[in-house]
Structure 1
Amino acid sequence: MSLFALSAVTAAIRKVNQSVEGDPHWDKVVALLHFDGAIGSSDFEDESGFYHVITVEGTPTLEATSVFGQAGEFIVNEGLIFPDHPSLRMEDQDFTIEGFFQPASPGALSIVYMKGLNTSDGMLLSFSTSQIFMRNVDNETDLIKTVSLDSNTFYHVAFQRVGNLRQIWLDGQKVAEDSVIFNHSSIEPMTIGGYHPGVASGAYLFDGRIDEFRITKGVARYVSNFNVPTAPFSNQGVV
């Protein structure tokens, strides 16, 4: 069996083995990427119920080094662009933006998600070997957690809003929290990976791999310490 055929079979088995119980918040999932497909390809798909059309910037690829199945590999100036959609505007609602991230090189600022760099209602998220942070562009307030992480390891990271609280969770532990009022309603495109419009080439951009990326709007999933997911995020609700 060829490597490409094996990748497809692995992805199919992975979907069959997803949690039978399903996701109790599936109706609130607005973006979901498993990063599965033929190794070496740039076939990135949103598997939420919105099926957002993704534009690829640069040549990010699907790679075998992952947590489940395959992962997306991004170097500086490679990323995924989602067109603006009301579902992707977090507004003043609770939300959870999460995934498994493997930073490839050290650095303080390494933007992995952005929606609205040049607007008063934007937000960006950064994850590197030395720092994790959330920024609200309107008042340039940062929630920062200093860390010392291994560049060869995947970490589960969740960025949350709970009321007026911003939270950062690392491998099931809440590591940072503050209180700030903001409305994330930017109509600019959403970008993930190592490319973000308006950010200088080669500066402050994510370099590494991402697996199982999910955005849940309308609920903060984590309220206490939890075990890191041991299966891919579900593609269905509770049945």
Structure 2
Amino acid sequence: MAGQREHGYARYRLDGCRCYVCAAARSRYDENRTKAITAGTWQPFVDAEPVRVHVRQLQECGMGLRAIAAVAKVDRKVLQAVLNGRPERGTGPQGKMRPEAAAAILAVEPTLENLAPRTLVDATGTRRRIQALVAAGWPQQYLAEYLGMQPGNFGCFLARASVTVGSVLAVRAMYDALWRVDPLEHGATPAGVERARRHAAAKGWAPFGAWDDDTIDDVDAFPDWTGQCGTPSGAQTHSRLGILPACLPCKQARNAADRERRAQARGAAAA
């Protein structure tokens, strides 16, 4: 709103402020403009269409205009003009815009930190982090209490296909805080730790070492239990390390290798 902008070029032009800061900003703008015109690089406006597409993509990811404007540090009216124009002036979506504003908006990414806390996102990474903690011996009731949840609701939480951004960030913080910590040193009983580990083993929940930071949130990734999972030697490594049964990617890789060997044998026999 007028009168609330920071002192600078925009306030000089839009609010009529003639203080020293605003006047100096106008002087710098004019000087830079003259230099750019002389050099042939003056570009006062750029196409608004890429910005419009980007803003709509951010909205589809759950970011509202207020959040986008806050991250980009632009007035929300700039986004509204790009998307819908200014109906009060009878204008349609803006075709051109200032390059500085365009660059700031295009730099906004739909990261978890930028999304509203109640935005729903895929629960895969959240579920895997909790499962890894249980595999390390953390009883589920301790994890529920850590997150401020009722233990009775924790099982339902684990079964959800999507969770809120706030829950994702809370679980990530818990995971980072506990993955190197011995639950026995924080009140868990030996029996409780053993039950948690047995439960995780029965469910086939992967431990910390099976995930990398760049795979744990990937829906299509699989845990690497042995360091060779998904390769023809993976199933044998499972057996050697006593990590049984072998995981599905290892079984599939072994079966594919067996089919290839049989095919080569048939080819050799036919020749």
What is the TM-score with the length of structure 2 in the denominator? 0.19
User: Which protein, 1 or 2, shows the higher relative CO under an 8 Å CA cutoff with sep ≥ 6?
Assistant: 1
Give the number of the structure whose residues are more often strand, by fraction.
1
Give the number of the structure whose residues are more often helix, by fraction.
2
